[in-house]
Structure 1
């Protein structure tokens, strides 16, 4: 029975009765919370959920996301027994086929990643693919993958079953009640207003699907998503199609198939998508479809006829054109909004809502109850976007591309082309004139590498070495042997000021930041589990003022984490000053010589030690210079006011000419840092990895007064012999030819025990280098590393590698500290 009465208040109010909202309600009740109200403006599943195709594929590019879907499949398989309502869940498996050699390489990479993540997978021949899916022809197929654990579900039934489970746990599910406003007080959500009255709430969860962006706008929260049309057809019955038929994906044709009542559901993701509804989604768009668009569908139909020729003689029972919401990067949006306390979002599921809803609903419920994510969710964390990502024109153009990329080849380093150039540094035009090839990070245009004169300034994608390999190698070599300049202006810069700035930051940072003015501290920001929420550099510029320099993608995330952990009564203020400062990194053994020509400052070790920051004269400009390195060489990060940037750049290039100075990009930077073994946040450093496991225990001060967030967890981990079964290690391939990209499986003595988190070609070491997370059956000690035979599975080929706990390049870290 549906509830109809709106209570005056509730601890949790969930807006939206699609599969995600019902999953959040279900999981909150499973955690013992009964004061849960779910509001749906129409009927359950009436928005996007009801017309979803219901495919459940387990594997995602990140282990954390795969784990959520693995949980979904477990939940769906037992939900009917718990609630008595069928879910249509069927573990029928899935077949994915490849039409090209490149796609087959991608599937072999996928198989290795699946094995590393514990997902059952089998590489199959065209004939084996046809045996599992007899109604297709395979003359043009190179091979495929069989994943027996994949399945399908009935989205509407599944939603009703989750809703019933939530009601059984005490939740109220109220249909036909539209939310018209969000109540707030003192920066915190206070409840919602409906067309039938208001309800006060401690926590509001926005699971509004296509309406989630509009709901966010009611209370100043950015939910960057855009609807696009998504098509599929249901055919009449086809001979040979039975209910046990696996799901079939043919990504080279942009299409998928599943069985339905003896016929086929065939849909897909056309490469040039059609956005919809930017002027607002109609309120009463319940159980509705858009007009058929056979012209837009034509590319999918053509490919379907190639794969299943008998469809040419088969009638179409129904054409579905159901809009759904897509995000700028094809990952969904989860978590507490940084703009409004206790307002959570679960939306933008990009045609993956059915597969993801079980795990995402549980993850969001845990986040709500615990006050922080309980696992590594940065790939879907709403804080990966900023307010400018919610611009309607930008969203419209970007979402056209991201929907089209659903089945596109996921090339290593794939860059998005639409809605660019976007954010530009002061040097953008100067670098573009030098044949810079730009990538995009958090909207910033950043140089990936520089093309030589006469070369096309564009990336040619491949799973092997790409066309920039030699160019990045020259930039790498120049950094190791002479001097290079990196424009790292996209770094996030956060100013923390106030009487309590020192004591507050010291509790939030794992290292001791109560240091003399002018000192620089590398530190992690840890969660209560001792895992990394970020790693960054802290510059003490005044007694009551710090500048924090952190990764480009982390501005919103890190600022939010720090603000949330400030004491309520502390005299402390955080300001994002990213746009005010450029960062020009002058790196390499000749960097001191170049700077000396422009400054009167003493740059010797005695006067300007490593890990210190000083304001120096540089040509006509006065700039803070931070003696720090992310490439493992002598160098300074110059923090330059934007208005002086062009002048400083011109001076540096002029002064550096005699030392062979050259511009360098992020591909070289990545190779240099991986070769040096430097960890990066969201790659090696995640909310599930501690400094002990990362080999960064030296950057933790266990004895500082007042302690720090995560200290108890780290002390417990130190005492736990099993803690080091998980560890970050460096692997260097023995063969200098192959190219690694990340995501490959790592084997020890023939058994998968981990995956590559970051990889690049180490031009100094002469081979590909990988930073890997091992999850071994025993403690990963120096002896374990020495005695094991390590391999990396590259698209089905096992490559021998040497493991290192400490990088073979400048193992003692002496090069950045050379004197002169």
Structure 2
């Protein structure tokens, strides 16, 4: 042990002395917390960090993630001055080249997104790319991107510099000490057992890198990551390679390059990876590499020789085959574990640890100290996964694909294909037999669309209209004009029961849920800043029994948020019941006609008003019918016990035949909800967006007794005009031909002002429709909107768009409430 005195207790213990663990320690001390102990089983940076390539690219698909990396670059540029230790940080810029027209389209989309996020970017010609990187040949290059703010660093030096900064702030860094167990008490972490003794702690942070999964298992916490081999070579010196050379990425060849001592580091992300250490990582795997595997590396080397022919003459100084941890979706894991209070995780960085560590370390430190995230971190929130995602066989097969996603073409609506099918609804086989094309959400196999007879049931990806456009148009039309059935069984369902269920939920929900039994309430769950932690519907089934229906991806996160906000002395219980109930959404003007053939219940407006739920007979089954819509039409969400689902589906299909009932999928649902301007959580509704900014203030009850979480922040925001500099608005393209996907830049009078958060083709409107987040230099009022000219940048082409201050389809929302 480097520091021999082992404290008996500490406020914060961090397990793992890689760059992420050192960043968390550094940022905790920066926030004034000195009682920090970092434990490293070997030496600092000896696991994954030391053999990382050290590339720092700023841009990520979500603005929130880009902001974290932007902070990393600021931190790395000033760290040496603060600590006196070099970091090897160099803002050398990066060049990304495209070999195909599709890749060039993607780079043009990336450029627009970068400008919208305030990242400096320039679209360049093949010749300009070669001017910046003279040792490559560009005969097959279509064009490229230049990002001057990108850079590179020395991972080991950076880690040592962060560790010194942490020590300067009072942290104790102990090397050569292994954690052998995690202590818990009454559902919370209480300390760690090491091979040098026990340390009690208030908070434990698992930054164990590829060991993080095993550390989690010590205390019943799921950390779904798997180690895979990641290879790169370092060449001998090459003429024309100098220290100022930018980073080069050639994603069509799966490869990257950076300069090192006059030679090149060349590595990449092969399309099918090689998982490692299925039976656990060997003890003392410190500063070690795996055997060279030239067969696995061959596809990368072949592509490197195409890009840099001189490499054929250069010797290889070193072959690095260093294992790294990868997650099921290629994003890292951050946050407090839902299984154990005060146990935090920062791991699974998918070859992005050096770029992400500064921002991720600060974000995690703030989460630890504040008790909740201080910004939108859903993309990396550990609660986006459930216990079944930690299955080792499933992880092994999925990680083979996710490593390759780094440079795979990020097609719109791209679906992962490994380790599937996974979770299946009761109707999976019936829908598959009808040519359903499935996507995956939270592991659920969900129908995206239905192929026609004779059409292959698989998506053909492109940046324009994809091969399902006309199929979805038919499903869309059936919902608007007739009747359609959506299998939405993947909806998460939570039951909240007990004497204090109503009062506790009413404090956690922004709307008033203390309503008569049988009423349904749409509400947001807000944080102390007034931003959305979720939005969901609350069904009051009995005086002390509420069913919450929320998004598929939010099951673990919502349950954790609600439980954490229950009062300690409240008599209330939350139970996850997703698997017990299917949800069949019967939607469209003829939905009542279909149901009437199967039930004795009165479905008229007087007996069964909008936003109410009743138990009804349906054929032989007894189900909950919730009169609610996400498509803007008359309809019912039928909440069916799983054992009755197949029978209910068959009965609905038979009864609906005379009304032309149609199966429909999630792609149609997306277009239908966007025509209505209905917001979705994690897209338009985020922890950084309030009901005032998204136009949902009507769903907030400021007058209810007892108040609600976020009320004070919303009241303050109401009187602050600056608050409305950020708003969610609906845009419809004036031209009916282009296809929007989300992520495009929005321009106001020719200047980037925001980005498209959700988009789909609005088949009723005859044009693409989008919900966008605008961030303006002044409050976004109706006058501001009317005074400006809006455009959407679609891969470098700017299309005029019209802002809709009211939903362009059924603006008064009369259709869901029609009589009968």
TM-score higher than 0.5 here?
yes
Residue number in structure 1 paired with 2:57: 57
1:69-468 to 2 correspondence within 5 Å? 69-468=69-468
Q: Quick one: distance in 1 between partners of 2:283 and 2:804?
A: 58
Residue 283 (structure 1) shift = 2.0
Q: Quick one: distance in 2 between partners of 1:381 and 1:169?
A: 28
Q: Quick one: distance in 2 between partners of 1:20 and 1:292?
A: 27
Residue number in structure 2 paired with 1:778: 778
Q: Quick one: distance in 2 between partners of 1:174 and 1:527?
A: 37
Residue number in structure 2 paired with 1:657: 657
Consecutive unaligned residues in structure 2, runs of 5 or more = none
- 8 A Cα contact 1:4 1:175, kept in partner: no
Residue 544 (structure 1) shift = 0.2
Q: Quick one: distance in 2 between partners of 1:471 and 1:786?
A: 36
Consecutive unaligned residues in structure 1, runs of 5 or more = none
CA deviations 1:624-662 (Å, max 9, x no partner) are 100000000000000000000011001101111111100
Q: Quick one: distance in 1 between partners of 2:753 and 2:193?
A: 51
CA deviations 1:518-567 (Å, max 9, x no partner) are 00000000000000000000000000000000000000000000000000
Residue 272 (structure 1) shift = 1.1
1:477-492 to 2 correspondence within 5 Å? 477-492=477-492
Q: Quick one: distance in 2 between partners of 1:2 and 1:811?
A: 68
- 8 A Cα contact 2:385 2:442, kept in partner: yes
Residue 569 (structure 1) shift = 0.8
Residue 404 (structure 1) shift = 1.3
Residue number in structure 2 paired with 1:718: 718
For the pair 1:10 / 2:16, whether they are aligned, the reply is: no
- 8 A Cα contact 1:425 1:489, kept in partner: yes
SS in 1 for 2:406: coil
Residue number in structure 2 paired with 1:526: 526
Q: Quick one: distance in 2 between partners of 1:783 and 1:761?
A: 28
Residue number in structure 2 paired with 1:603: 603
- 8 A Cα contact 2:2 2:176, kept in partner: no
Q: Quick one: distance in 2 between partners of 1:758 and 1:434?
A: 28
For the pair 1:804 / 2:804, whether they are aligned, the reply is: yes
SS in 1 for 2:752: strand
- 8 A Cα contact 1:512 1:704, kept in partner: yes
Residue number in structure 2 paired with 1:507: 507
Q: Quick one: distance in 2 between partners of 1:169 and 1:787?
A: 52
Q: Quick one: distance in 2 between partners of 1:594 and 1:4?
A: 76
Which moves more between the two structures, 650-659 or 47-56?
Answer: 650-659
CA deviations 1:661-711 (Å, max 9, x no partner) are 000000000010011100000000000000000100000000000000000
SS in 1 for 2:114: helix
Residue number in structure 2 paired with 1:40: 40
- 8 A Cα contact 1:495 1:577, kept in partner: yes
SS in 2 for 1:554: helix
CA deviations 1:300-336 (Å, max 9, x no partner) are 0000000000000000000000000000000000000
Q: Quick one: distance in 1 between partners of 2:530 and 2:513?
A: 18
RMSD: 0.6
Q: Quick one: distance in 2 between partners of 1:811 and 1:370?
A: 41
Q: Quick one: distance in 1 between partners of 2:774 and 2:477?
A: 30
Q: Quick one: distance in 2 between partners of 1:110 and 1:790?
A: 20
Q: Quick one: distance in 1 between partners of 2:424 and 2:214?
A: 29
Q: Quick one: distance in 2 between partners of 1:7 and 1:675?
A: 60
1:719-734 to 2 correspondence within 5 Å? 719-734=719-734
Residue number in structure 1 paired with 2:647: 647
Q: Quick one: distance in 2 between partners of 1:487 and 1:110?
A: 34
Q: Quick one: distance in 2 between partners of 1:98 and 1:80?
A: 35
Q: Quick one: distance in 2 between partners of 1:806 and 1:376?
A: 27
Residue number in structure 2 paired with 1:817: 817
Q: Quick one: distance in 2 between partners of 1:104 and 1:750?
A: 23
Q: Quick one: distance in 2 between partners of 1:272 and 1:507?
A: 48
Residue number in structure 2 paired with 1:573: 573
CA deviations 1:153-209 (Å, max 9, x no partner) are 000000000000000000000000000000000110000000000000000000000
Residue 623 (structure 1) shift = 0.6
1:736-751 to 2 correspondence within 5 Å? 736-751=736-751
| TM-score, normalised via structure 2 length | 1.00
Q: Quick one: distance in 1 between partners of 2:246 and 2:583?
A: 53
Q: Quick one: distance in 1 between partners of 2:309 and 2:250?
A: 14
Q: Quick one: distance in 1 between partners of 2:187 and 2:176?
A: 29
Residue 4 (structure 1) shift = 2.6
Q: Quick one: distance in 2 between partners of 1:102 and 1:6?
A: 57
SS in 2 for 1:162: helix
- 8 A Cα contact 1:785 1:804, kept in partner: no
1:752-791 to 2 correspondence within 5 Å? 752-791=752-791
CA deviations 1:63-89 (Å, max 9, x no partner) are 000000000000000000000000000
Residue number in structure 2 paired with 1:555: 555
Q: Quick one: distance in 1 between partners of 2:285 and 2:674?
A: 50
Q: Quick one: distance in 1 between partners of 2:32 and 2:369?
A: 10
| TM-score, normalised via structure 1 length | 1.00
Aligned residue-pair number: 820
Residue 2 (structure 1) shift = 4.6
- 8 A Cα contact 2:694 2:728, kept in partner: yes
SS in 2 for 1:402: helix
Residue number in structure 2 paired with 1:702: 702
SS in 1 for 2:322: strand
For the pair 1:472 / 2:472, whether they are aligned, the reply is: yes
- 8 A Cα contact 1:684 1:758, kept in partner: yes
Residue number in structure 2 paired with 1:795: 795
Q: Quick one: distance in 2 between partners of 1:461 and 1:6?
A: 57
CA deviations 1:443-490 (Å, max 9, x no partner) are 000000000000000000000000000000100010000000000000
Q: Quick one: distance in 1 between partners of 2:380 and 2:278?
A: 23
CA deviations 1:739-784 (Å, max 9, x no partner) are 0000000000011000000000000000000000000111111111
Residue 3 (structure 1) shift = 2.4
Q: Quick one: distance in 2 between partners of 1:388 and 1:283?
A: 27
1:599-678 to 2 correspondence within 5 Å? 599-678=599-678
